Amino acid sequence: MIFQGKSFLAEKDFTKDELQYLIDFSKHLKNLKKRGIPHRYLEGQNIALLFEKNSTRTRAAFTVAANDLGAHPEFLGANDIQLGSKESVSDTAKVLGSMFDGIEYRGSSQDVVESLAEHAGVPVWNGLTDDWHPTQMIADFLTIQENFGYLEGINLVYCGDGRNNVANSLLVTGAILGTNVRIVSPKELQPEEKVVAFAQKFAADSGAKLVVTDSVEEGVSNADVLYTDVWVSMGEEEKFAERIELLLPYQVNQKMIELAQNEDVIFMHCLPAFHDTNTKYAKDILEKFGLQEMEVTDEVFNGKYAQQFEQAENRLHSIKAIMAATSGNLFITKV
Ligand code: CP
Ligand code: NVA
């Protein structure tokens, strides 16, 4: 039972076949959900949801997934428990692990989620750290597979902040799965050397071609997927001025879509996105910097290539697959 009891902390801990299994299992669970067929693999379990950073999709997906699987989710926010302020990570892990059957964690530190996993004795799922966003990847590659039918050889182009959690995860996951990944970012925001070196090792096995470039023309040509994320990630809010200056040429707009020269290109975004001024945050940016849109224009966001809401829904099915595979006692002996 290869997944049972295992934590889901970073993509690198899983083989190509294992990641592909989770993608295909997500598709299966999506189908069961749409057809109203019960899939209560975690009947009677209790799941802790630790969020030190805000979330809409990840929190909603873990909550609904737990309920659909027959488990009870319990939300434990940053100010609700003693973690980090009065109690160490390892002590918290031992206590939660003695009561809960699985623990989701979202916060800044990859070390914290790894330490939770080391001490909890139950599966721990990484709901986003500053380094990686692995549950997002199963949803994203499911979305790509749904659109194109396959993953190997697809040109996935990520434009924007190339050294954030989502860019890191796309690079490594694509490299494992055989999807060509291009990170298109200004030099100052390109992925760390160690992440690229790491991804290259996987690419040598899978045949994925990896490119890191600051040239939009070079990076975007023949793209099958144009992917972007916010220019300023959670916890970096003081960096708006410098990011806007560096990243404006990397905005995903209609002109960039045309540069792909591919009628079948799709647009993806992990969300939330700054594509209009309908949020408090965006109004603030408009006032300070005169910008109405940031990483993606409203035209592209609402255009015919956009897949971000299908991608968001897929968070539910993929998180469900990850939870069921690791905590559901399923008969998966080999993939
Ligand atoms: N994509 C994503 O993780 O969204 P949330 O921050 O809303 O969970
Ligand atoms: N890079 C973003 C992803 C949000 C889902 C952040 O960390 O804020």
Sign of the C-alpha dihedral, residues 184, 187, 191, 194?
positive
106 is catalytic: yes
Q: Which structural domain, as residue segments, surrounds residue 34?
A: 11-133+315-322
pLDDT score recorded for residue 259: 98
Q: Residue 59 falls within a domain, yes or no?
A: yes
Residues 151 and 294 in one domain: yes
Residues 128 and 157 in one domain: no
Q: What CATH number is attached to the domain comprising 177?
A: 3.40.50.1370
Residues 210 and 272 in one domain: yes
* Catalytic position from the list 45, 136, 307, 308: 136
Mean pLDDT of all residues belonging to the chain: 97
57 is catalytic: no
User: Is there an atom of ligand 2 within 6 Å of 164 CB?
Assistant: yes
Among residues 143, 193, 186, 142, the alpha carbon closest in space to that of 161 is found at 186
Q: Residue 332 falls within a domain, yes or no?
A: no
State pTM to two decimals: 0.98
* Catalytic position from the list 224, 251, 270, 307: 270
Q: How far is the CA of 88 from the centre of ligand 2 (A)?
A: 25
Q: Residue 121 falls within a domain, yes or no?
A: yes
Q: Is the pLDDT of residue 84 over 90?
A: no
pLDDT tens, 90-109?
999 999 999 999 999 999 99
Residues 119 and 190 in one domain: no
- pLDDT interval class at 1 (50, 70, 90): confident
Residues 39 and 176 in one domain: no
264 is catalytic: no
DSSP E strands: which ranges in the chain? Answer: 46-51, 72-77, 102-106, 124-126, 155-159, 180-184, 210-213, 225-228, 266-269
pLDDT score recorded for residue 82: 87
Q: Whose CA is nearest to atom 7 of ligand 2?
A: 233
pLDDT tens, 211-253?
999 999 999 999 999 999 999 999 999 999 999 999 999 999 9
* Catalytic position from the list 119, 182, 269, 315: 315
How does 220-248 read in b/e, with b if 16+ C-beta sit within 10 Å?
Answer: beebbbbbbbbbbbbeeeeebeebbebbe
Residues 20 and 102 in one domain: yes
Work out how many domains the chain is built from and give that number.
2
Q: Is the pLDDT of residue 77 over 90?
A: yes
Q: How far is the CA of 39 from the centre of ligand 2 (A)?
A: 30
pLDDT score recorded for residue 18: 98
Residues 60 and 150 in one domain: no
Amino acid identity for residue 264 in this structure? D
Q: How far is the CA of 323 from the centre of ligand 2 (A)?
A: 21
- pLDDT interval class at 208 (50, 70, 90): very high
pLDDT tens, 300-312?
999 999 999 999 9
Which of 108, 234, 274, 296 for a ligand 2 pocket mutation test, highest count of atoms within 8 Å of Cβ? 234
Q: Is the pLDDT of residue 288 over 80?
A: yes
Residues 263 and 281 in one domain: yes
Q: Whose CA is nearest to atom 8 of ligand 2?
A: 233
* Catalytic position from the list 106, 243, 269, 317: 106
